[in-house]
A and B are shown apart, each in its own frame.
Chain A
């Protein structure tokens, strides 16, 4: 069962084996079987890592993981009212390879196109609501990711491979017909200080409970805090940006919305393809953790 079939059924409380979490409120109460489950999953660190990996990516030894999302950027000037700036539609296309017991190496890239806040149409410029200036907003193609290694001990970013893993936060919980992982991404010390990323990924519990499913369909939401991008032309003004996204994990680029896929194929065709050559690069002095 894929997302197209399963998630609406769960939303309506009629998923196979599921209880009614979301029956229309005007349905007779007596017709509903009420179950109100909210439970933190007490897993050992290795199982916590494996299940988070399964939700966020997959447990295959080698796989390509595609996330698609919309997100809206908000400017947060210090001691002033935050203001929405621009909508984006984008993908993160990443790949991983198992390099040891519960240890995976990952590489990926991102591609996002700006859209008008109101109409949703693709745009090339927006008004900076803080300065009032109209600024050019280029597409975001993030292709310089150095890669990382992830294990139950945490994350090693491969631009500093000899450093010990940084612990990260992943808490799993079951909420009725969904299993969710709340994650907080800890940036390396080399990143700008104003950075934080957090998110929640949710999969149908019926699939989560089937151990034969190495890849789970998920709905993803999250937010991140980051410094002013150059295109905002904020100079030395104190403050930062904030963006919140909502999207899902897809099986392949064939599932991308047509308009996005057409533009990506025209402007950045290489970013719709899987390129596993990064795994051929040796990583000298990789920390054993």
Chain B
């Protein structure tokens, strides 16, 4: 579990990206309080069960199952099998202890996840991520950036996260597929109404004792109309967020104390790869066309005995 986390931390995928396999932004779903229309219509979408939503305020759930269904519906899809593709841009910053923080590079990326229900409320998820560096000022693809703290030019490669071990996601939280013990990871998640919008705030810290200086905070927005429409099994969202992570190797920061921050803004690519931004999609199709497809074979690997027990219990 720690190894898989470290891989994510050190390769510094953005929240919506790297983490979503482990802990995507929770969302909600159900019938609108008092509206009645959606109540009981929750077929497959968990609608109707014990949600109350003021005009502006916090949304509460009758139980953790309903809350989880809301999350999974926003972050993934409540169908038995599905894919979620997100597209985003993010800027990474370096924070060196005692010195003024500086922006380093912009990225454009995607996270492609594919998942299958394996019990009543647990899905198995696998994912891959790909991001290309872009110039801070012009937005053009780039392969060189300046580190303002060392005043050196750095070679920078596309970020490809292809070794995701996968994760189980259910009402108890997240359980990476390489876990040696059953220790579901819980996260902070709050849903609230802002007039016509529903916002899902999700903070994903690492537990004490894990590689330090990592946290991720996201806020995903969906329309209230979609949110309370039980026929929508996967909510279209806009998302923004931030994450803190250690200096990556390519920054060549040596032993300097400090860390990085990444700030992203993006959305669900509702129509799949053809919904990715054109220049990004064309580059992926040219360099790694296989990454524009879900890697379903990842789900063929058998679960360990520990995980089988976790699912069965």
Q: Which residues of A contact B (CB under 8 A)?
A: 3-5, 7-9, 11-13, 20-26, 29, 32, 34, 36-38, 40, 70, 72, 74, 76, 78-84, 87, 117-120, 169, 171, 173, 175-176, 178, 180, 182, 184, 187, 193-196, 198-200, 202, 219, 221-223, 225, 238, 240, 242, 244, 246, 248, 257-259
Contact = CB atoms under 8 A, between A and B. Distances in A.
A9 B281 CA distance: 26
B95 A11 contact: no
Interface residues of B, number: 80
B131 interface: no
Contacts of A9: 223
Contacts of A80: 212-213
B274 A34 contact: yes
B130 to A, nearest CB: 15
Given A34-B275, A81-B208, A72 B201 contact: yes
B32 interface: no
Given A23-B270, A25-B77, A25-B236, A82 B196 contact: no
A4 to B, nearest CB: 5
B151 to A, nearest CB: 18
B217 to A, nearest CB: 5
30 contacts: A5-B196, A13-B236, A13-B270, A23-B270, A25-B233, A25-B236, A26-B233, A36-B269, A36-B276, A36-B281, A38-B279, A80-B212, A80-B213, A81-B205, A81-B210, A81-B213, A81-B215, A82-B244, A84-B215, A117-B190, A178-B238, A196-B101, A198-B263, A200-B263, A223-B261, A225-B95, A240-B95, A246-B199, A246-B240, A257-B56
Given A24-B236, A242-B244, 13 more contacts: A25-B233, A25-B236, A36-B278, A76-B213, A84-B205, A84-B215, A169-B136, A175-B277, A182-B265, A184-B91, A196-B101, A221-B241, A246-B221
A76 B215 CA distance: 9
Pick the 8 closest A-B CB pairs, nearest first. Answer: A22-B236, A38-B277, A221-B240, A40-B139, A25-B234, A8-B223, A196-B101, A82-B215
A74 B215 contact: yes
A171 B271 contact: no
B277 A37 contact: yes
B214 A82 contact: yes
B61 interface: no
B91 A24 contact: no
A4 B100 contact: no
B57 interface: yes
A242 B242 contact: yes
Interface stretch (B116-124, B170-178, B224-232, B293-301): B224-232
B223 A184 contact: no
Interface of B: 56-58, 77, 79, 82, 87, 89, 91, 93, 95, 97-101, 103, 108, 136-139, 188, 190, 192, 194-197, 199, 201, 203, 205-208, 210, 212-215, 217, 219, 221-226, 229, 231-238, 240-242, 244, 257, 259, 261, 263, 265, 267-271, 274-281
Nearest to A74: B215
Nearest to A172: B139
Contacts of A4: 195-196
Contacts of A117: 188, 190
Contacts, number: 218
Contacts of A173: 89, 139
Contacts of A175: 267, 277
Contacts of B197: 7-8, 11
A240 B195 CA distance: 33
A261 to B, nearest CB: 10
Contact of A12 (B226, B244, B275): B226
A289 B287 CA distance: 46
Contacts of B212: 79-81
Contacts of B244: 74, 76, 82, 242
A37 B274 CA distance: 11
Q: Decide if the interface of chain A is mainly helix, strand, loop or mixed.
A: mixed
B230 to A, nearest CB: 11
B253 to A, nearest CB: 14
A192 to B, nearest CB: 9
Contacts of A195: 100-101
Nearest to B246: A79
B275 A244 contact: no
A52 to B, nearest CB: 14
Nearest to A75: B215
Contacts of A36: 269, 274-278, 281
Nearest to A178: B238
Contact of A238 (B97, B278, B280): B97
